[in-house]
Amino acid sequence: MSVTSASKTTAVAGAVLALMVGGVATAGPAHAAPAPGAAAADIALGQYQSTNAEVRKRIYEGDAKDGDTEKNNCNFYTGFWTAKANYRWDGTSAPRHGTITNSQACGTSKGYMYVKVDGAWTKKWTSVKWTSRAWCADFAKYSWYWGKAKITGLNAAADSFRTYGRANGTWHSKAQVASGSYKPKPGDAVSYDNNGDGRADHVGIVTSYSSSRKVYHSVEGNTSLERLTYKKSQSATAGRVLGYTTPKAR
């Protein structure tokens, strides 16, 4: 069974996927599936707001204990992408300099992945071993993936979202936002340059945007608080903002 077929078999008959919070699907009235950007924004915000005990653990770095704030870059999202059993394994061992080595235990929590069950790729709520590396891009990519956006070309580097945007014709510079020729959308990846080298070194997911005020809300992983953070009313043309990438549909 293909991953696409497996997805269909998990859907509730007569309904579509309205929201996924940490992989927990909620069915709503039948309507057109949301665009990948809107769906990705729902995923990102759902990861922060979820009341599911396993999903709540993902907010914090550490050893997968809810509320733990060990600053060691151990996190669920890198664990998801680096799990060899995962259909979407990114092929890396996630080396991370300056924190713990991944030979040390980061902890384990539950989450959805596509894994082989009786020879077929099946969506399953299963254990995910947390892994240590800078993880803002891993979180943003996770939001896009479960929002059914194209993720080809994305990796653990924040700048891969800017490269993706340029390659797919969906990159929008800060200057375009300042002029009003582009308005950031929910699900856009906002790219930041914190060291002034012209490349993105941090990325988050836009969840809402005010055209009148030119400010956005976002959810971002691996912030200066060393956790998943919901940021409100940020200037869309702030100095460190490089621009915005809109996800393409698969």
Express each pLDDT in 90-112 by its tens digit. 998 775 443 566 556 688 999 99
> Does residue 86 register a pLDDT over 80?
yes
User: pLDDT confidence of 71, banded at 50, 70, 90?
Assistant: confident
pLDDT, residue 69, reads 65
pLDDT, residue 106, reads 83
Using DSSP, state whether 185 is helix, strand or coil: coil
- The distance from CA 6 to its chain's CA centroid, rounded to whole angstroms, is 22
* Measured distance CA(6)–CA(67) in Å, rounded: 34
Segments in the chain forming alpha helices (H):
3-10, 36-49, 53-57, 76-82, 136-146, 159-168, 174-179
Condensed to tens digits (0 to 9), the pLDDT of residues 4-32 reads 444 433 333 333 333 444 444 434 445 56
> Does residue 199 register a pLDDT over 70?
yes
Using DSSP, state whether 62 is helix, strand or coil: coil
25 or 41, higher pLDDT: 41
Whole-number average pLDDT of the chain: 86
* Measured distance CA(117)–CA(119) in Å, rounded: 5
30 or 223, higher pLDDT: 223
pLDDT, residue 27, reads 40
pTM across the whole model: 0.85
Residue whose token pair is 């894994």? 115
Q: What share of the chain is helix, strand, coil (3-state, %, to 5)?
A: 25, 30, 45
* Measured distance CA(194)–CA(2) in Å, rounded: 41
Using DSSP, state whether 21 is helix, strand or coil: strand
User: pLDDT confidence of 66, banded at 50, 70, 90?
Assistant: confident
DSSP state for residue 227 in the 8-state scheme: B
* Measured distance CA(206)–CA(249) in Å, rounded: 17
Q: Which two tokens stand for residue 59?
A: 């907010």
* Measured distance CA(41)–CA(47) in Å, rounded: 10
Q: Nearest CA to 138 among 121, 123, 160?
A: 160
Residue whose token pair is 């400010």? 215
> Does residue 88 register a pLDDT over 70?
yes
Segments in 76-172 forming alpha helices (H):
76-82, 136-146, 159-168
At 129, the amino acid letter reads: K
- Backbone torsions φ then ψ of 189, nearest 5 degrees: -90, 120
* Measured distance CA(26)–CA(212) in Å, rounded: 33
Instruction: Give just the sign of the alpha carbon dihedral 247, 196, 227, 154.
Output: positive
61 or 158, higher pLDDT: 158
